[in-house]
Amino acid sequence: MKYPVIFKMLPFMIPLVFVIPVLTIRLQNDTSLISSRDIQQVKTVFTGIFLEALPFVLLGVLLSSLLQLFVKEQWVRRITPKNPVIGVLFASMLGIVFPICECGMIPVVRRLMLKGMPAYIAVTFILSGPILNPIVFAATIMAFRSHPEVTIGRMGLAFAVAVTVGLLVYVFSRNNPLKRSLQEFSEQDSAVGERKLHEHPKTWRSLFVHAGDELIEMGKYLVLGAFLTACIQSFIPREELLALGNGPTASYLFMMGFAFILSLCSTSDAFVASAFTHTFTVGPLVSFLVLGPMLDFKSLLMLSATFKTKFVIGLSLLVMTLVFIGSVAVNALLGG
């Protein structure tokens, strides 16, 4: 089924929920919206975001290529649990074995789905993997040494949201959510793979040829996401964003929107969040630390390149809702 162009653009319009109010304030206070300093700031922030994300995207496409060349569909289907509850629990723990940042997660998961991994397990892995892994756990403990409740809240809420979303996808999303049908995508990829393996035997050369194709496909969305994120960060002062975060409910929405806009790597976002320790309670901090790795601007673009538009919209709204409700609950339980 084909959707109107405006419907396909909805995932990219989600940031407007956070951006429009601040732009309104900026336009009222300053008629000079763009300056040379802003442009320099865009270049600096873009370079920082891109260089931070690129190693993880490279790792992701390399793992994806290894899966394509050396892992058979039958093996993936054999190790995948048939019971949905066990399946989502299995997926939520995969990050311990594969501690991949959210930037490199999507190409790996897409490849696993083409090899036979069910969508609900794949989605659970996408959401949980960037948070429930030893590297992020250690970074969060280090950033919040005097506030261990933040680490507990982050890991607990990430697990709860990922498992809940995975089970809901199992119940309500029976169709293949990839942009092209799994059969068509798999057959096309296999045909290309066979041609390349004929040209380049199954060696390091074929691995890098396949990884290069993956990098070109996913890299353009990383570049676009990093650029738009840099523009948002550069043209909207943090003081005006903080002004929108006053109030018990607004503080959650602010930190969630801030995480979405900043698009930080899950291994470094805890150190940014720690700067707000004396400004917000544990709930808003946890909402920042959970939503960012699950759904930020650059990963939204990469998700939109992989999954159907309707699925991405539903997944985004579900994740934001569960993170908001869950972080309020965490604040009630651990806020003291």
Quick check: is 19 in a domain?
A: no
pLDDT at residue 187, rounded to an integer: 53
Segment among 76-90, 147-161, 240-254 with least mean pLDDT: 240-254
**Taking each helix axis from N to C terminus, what angle separates 204-235 and 16-29, rounded to the nearest 10 degrees?**
40
* Structural domain count, the chain: 1
Confirm whether 14 is domain-assigned: no
Higher pLDDT, 302 or 14: 302
CB atoms within 10 A of CB 12: 16
Is residue 201 one of the residues assigned to a domain? yes
Tens digit of each residue's pLDDT (9 = 90 or more) over 277-330:
887 889 999 999 999 999 988 889 888 888 998 999 999 999 999 999 999 999
Question: Do residues 186 and 321 make contact, with C-beta atoms less than 8 angstroms apart?
Answer: no
Residues 6+ apart with CB under 8 A from 60: 100, 103, 104, 105, 106, 107, 108, 218
* Residue 244 pLDDT > 50: yes
What end-to-end distance do the CA atoms of the chain give, in Å? 50
pLDDT category of residue 183 using cuts at 50, 70 and 90: very low
> What does the pLDDT average to over 74-84?
84
Which tokens sit at 164? 């809940």
Contacts of residue 201, defined as CB under 8 A and 6 or more positions apart, other chains included, come to: none
Residue range of the domain that includes 140: 36-334
Strands (E), 23-159: none
Position 24 in a domain = no
| 10 assigned to some structural domain | no
How confident is the model over 193-220, as a mean pLDDT? 65
231 inside domain: yes
* Residue count of the chain: 336
Contact between residue 130 and residue 302 where contact means Cβ atoms under 8 Å apart = no
Residue 323 lies in a domain: yes
Highest mean pLDDT among 12-26, 127-141, 157-171: 157-171
pLDDT for the residue numbered 184: 58
Longest dimension (CA), the chain: 63
